[in-house]
Structure formats: structure tokens, C-alpha cells
Chain A
Amino acid sequence: MALKNIEKQLNILDYALSSLWRRRAKSFSILLVFAAIIFLLASFQMVTQSLSDKAKQVLAYTPEITLQKMSAGRQEAIPLAYREQLAGIFGIRRVVPRIWGYYFDEVRLANYTVMGMELENMPEGARLDASLANGKMPGPEARGWVFVGHSIKEALNLDERYTFSLFRPDLTLKAFTVSGEFSRDTDILTNDLIVMNLADARDLYGIPAGLVTDFCVYVANPKEIDTIAKKISTALPSVRVLTRPQIQKTYQVVFGWRSGFGSICLLAALAAFVILAWDKASGLSPEERREIAILKVLGWETSDILATRFWESLIVSGLACILGMTAAYIHVVYFAASLFRPVLMGWSVLRPDLHLLPRMAAGDILLILAFTVIPYLAATVIPAWRSATVPADSALGG
């Protein structure tokens, strides 16, 4: 009985495939459009998921609390003297001042991120050599050294030489010597970075003594981060307190379907799907009615015709899903999401090599199926039933 049923379904599948092949121009165009929609949705999902994943992994080591001073709704330099007030808060292990900002290179039209800090006071500062492709960390007293990211090296043509200069605000030049280059494996964090001593950063930006950009605060017990953050907010009301969990949360929500580009992907997919569903649901062509009538005259039952339509839809949507998702994976992993790069990186001059590797969990695949294949199958149920219940004589003109 089971064998007979399988044989029957195989015969129906043969018929459905032949039927799709007979209307191959239409079938292939639907398949292509459908696969393109799935490609778009899956690519977006894979890019955002792999970036969020990477952020989750690496930002677990971000400072437990970051403090910035706010004035008139904008960030401004924070006085070093605030450290005395922080010293009175029990549970704070270490407060490290930092000067960082952006440097716009008017020749190359590129934005560099400059970071100045006392590396010897940072938690992993002594091990920073491990992340360098070449060079080594100078002593704490050394001045004028920098570590640069890969794109900085390329932008400033530092292949043959080790020195370069940047302009201070008064347009005098400050010279630097490259002591090391960050490994390309860390590009996603260090691509546009110029790391230097705190005093050099102060000199470069002309920031007065006694002021820095922000404080990195490390606490003795990570479970007390929120409590200590509240105490800091109370003690220093003009200071914005950013905790590690808040920073991690940012990257879990910053890429999402509600962003402009995400919405466009989703809306384009929905619009294309509505057109497809409309085509399916808007009634039968005379040719289709005739085909069904002939099948019924030949003895096919309504359930057989429904099964044929189901197989046709499943073949089209299933194939589109496999093709679309495979193409999306190849696009993201092997072509570094090159179609999205114009939006993901915009007018950025320094662009990191993105090594994206999405973890395709069952939930992600189900999400894409839920948006595409399942609605398509559902949308074909009613037209399939309508087509199966057409009286044979009316379709044949009787």
C-alpha cells in the first residue's frame, strides 16, 4: 500500500515537473525572482548576524565602564581631577584616562581614528605585541611612536619608510615613527587605528593638561558593574556612564530589519512576493482551466490535482530557497558581501577586509523560510483548490 502510494506520488511529481518544464519560461522567471528575493534577505541576515556575532565575541573584553563628560548634549573633554571623586567609590579597581578622536586627512579624504593611552595601565597592555604583525612595544617613557592599522599603512604609503607627520590644530607638524603594524587578522578592530602615547595624543590634538577624552573604569567584581555605574552617575551627574553590557547590547540591535537598508530589503521582498502571490491567486488562465478539465475527464481526482499544484509550488519555492541561500552564503563568505559594501561602508575611504563567516543556525533558516517559502505555499492553496474544483464541462466549453 505504502509502495503504491509512493509510486503514485512519484508519478504526480513527474507530471508536475513536466508541467513546469512545459511552461519553462514562466517557471524559470518565477524561480529567478524568488531566488533573488531569498538571496537578498539571506545575505542581509548573514551579514548582520556575522557582524553581531563578531562584536559579541570581541567586545566581551571592552572596558567594564566608560565615562564621557557631556555638556549641552555633546561630548567634551573630561577633567582628570574627576579621578579623585571616583577613588572614593568602593569596588573600582582601576581608572585609565584616554585621549582619542578622529583625524581627517585632507589629502586622502580619509578619517583616521587616533587613540592615545598609557598602555602599561591597560589590562592587556603588556601583551599587545601579540597582536602586531611586526614591530614591538616601546617602553613607557618613549615618545613619538605609533602602532598603525593596515589601511593607515597603505594610505600613508608606509611600505618603505617608518616616519610620517600629522597636523596639529595650529597647522604645525608633529612627526611620528611607526613602531609596529597591527596584524591583518585584527583588521575588523584596528584597520583605521593610530595608537600612540597619551602625551603625544594630547600634543597632536592640542588638549590642555588636566583634560582627557574619556576614562576606562575597571571594577573588582563584574557583577557590581551596574551598582558602581549608578554610584558614578550620582557622584558625577554631568558624566555619561556606558557599561560593558550596554555596549554589547548595542551591537546586538544596531544591525536589524528596522534600519533603512533592512527595511528596503524586507519591503522589496514583500512587494515581489505579493506580486507572485497575486499572479497565483488572480485566477486561472484558459489554458490551465483546459488542462484541469482534461485531467478530470481522464479520471484524476481533486486531491490529485491539489497534490500536483502542491508539488509544483514546493519544487519552485524549495529550489529558489536552496539556490538563494547558497548564493547568499557565497556572496557573504567568498565575496565579503560586495553588493552590500557600498551601503555598509558608504563613503569610507579606509575599508577593512571583512572576513565574514555566518553561523547559520536552524532559527535563521526558519526565519527566511517563514518569510518566503511558507507564505508562497500557503498562497497557492486557495488557487489550487479553486483550480481543482473547476467543472470539466465548463472548462471545455460545454
Chain B
Amino acid sequence: MRPSLIFTLFLCLLLAIDGALFVDGLSRRKGEDATLAQLEVVTGALGLTDLAVATEARYTRHPAVSDPVAPFMDHPGAIEHFPTGAFWLPPPR
């Protein structure tokens, strides 16, 4: 068998895996759209401003309503020390 044919078959296998992931993604998307209505109700009813992803520091729990300087406000010379501070950028003002 020619090397190019083996390579093409391998490529087809990878693309088939990607295709299966795509189809699964579509069905997941439908499920996610169904839960969107619940999320909209919660946001509207509670007036939420942020996602509950990181709960360790107030400025990464609620970045939208925090000051960019909040990580350094605990005492003079305070440094930002929470790990999530590395992932989240300070909010623009």
C-alpha cells in the first residue's frame, strides 16, 4: 500500500472523529439552549452581574462590579496573590 494512501486513511479517521465530536456538539448545544431560559430568569430575578466561576477572591468572583485596584487594597504594599488573578484581567473602566 502506498504511504500516501495510508496517510489519507489516517487523515480520514481523524476527520471522522472530528465529525463525531461536531455532531455531539450540536446535540449538546440544543441542551444548552434549553437551559438558557433558566439562566435568563435567574439573572433578571436576582440582578446578577457575574459568573460564579472563581469564588476565592471578591474581584474574581465579581469582576464586573470590582475596581481594578481591588486586588491591592488590603493593606499598603499589598500584592495580588490569588491564583485566579493570573487568569482574569482587571475590568476596563
Contact = CB atoms under 8 A, between A and B. Distances in A.
A353 to B, nearest CB: 11
A345 B48 contact: no
B86 A259 contact: yes
Given A117-B47, A354-B53, A186 B42 contact: yes
B78 interface: no
B52 A191 contact: yes
B64 A185 contact: no
Given A14-B4, A345-B53, 16 more contacts: A60-B43, A61-B40, A113-B52, A122-B44, A131-B45, A250-B92, A255-B87, A256-B89, A315-B7, A322-B11, A343-B84, A345-B55, A347-B56, A352-B52, A354-B53, A357-B28
Interface string B9-51: 0010011011001000100110010011111111111111101
Contacts of B84: 343-346, 348
Contacts of B83: 342-343, 346-347
A66 B47 CA distance: 9
Interface in A301-334: 315, 319, 322-323, 326, 329-330, 333
A140 to B, nearest CB: 14
Contacts of A73: 67, 69, 73
Nearest to A330: B21
A275 to B, nearest CB: 24
Contacts of A125: 45
Given A131-B38, A259-B89, A346-B84, A250 B51 contact: no
Contacts of B53: 51, 188, 344-345, 352, 354
B43 A62 contact: yes
A329 B21 contact: yes
Nearest 5 pairs between A and B by C-beta? A124-B44, A346-B83, A260-B86, A185-B35, A346-B84
A130 B39 CA distance: 10
A94 B22 CA distance: 45
Interface string B54-73: 11111011011101010001
B18 to A, nearest CB: 6
Given A21-B3, A343-B84, A357-B28, A348 B54 contact: yes
Given A59-B43, A253-B89, A352-B52, A183 B38 contact: yes
Size band of the B side of the interface?
A: 35 or more
A127 interface: yes
Interface string A342-378: 1111111111101101000000000000000000000
A254 B63 contact: yes
Contacts of A291: none
A13 B4 contact: yes
- Residue of B14, B52, B60, B61 ringed by the most chain A CB atoms within 10 A: B52
Nearest to A44: B87
Interface of A: 10, 13-14, 17-18, 21, 51, 54-55, 57-63, 66, 68, 73-75, 96, 98, 102, 110-111, 113, 115, 117, 119, 122-125, 127-128, 130-131, 149, 182-183, 185-193, 195, 214, 216, 242, 246-247, 249-251, 253-256, 258-262, 264, 315, 319, 322-323, 326, 329-330, 333, 340, 342-352, 354-355, 357
Contacts of B85: 260, 346
Contacts of B61: 102, 111, 113, 192
Given A102-B58, A122-B46, A128-B45, A149 B21 contact: no
Given A98-B47, A188-B53, A346-B54, A357 B25 contact: yes
Contacts of A260: 85-87
Nearest to B44: A124
Given A98-B47, A323-B14, A354-B53, A74 B58 contact: no
Contacts of A323: 14
A182 B42 contact: yes
Nearest to B83: A346
A122 B3 contact: no
B41 A127 contact: yes
A220 to B, nearest CB: 16
A110 B3 contact: no
B82 A242 contact: no
A128 B41 contact: yes
A176 B60 CA distance: 28
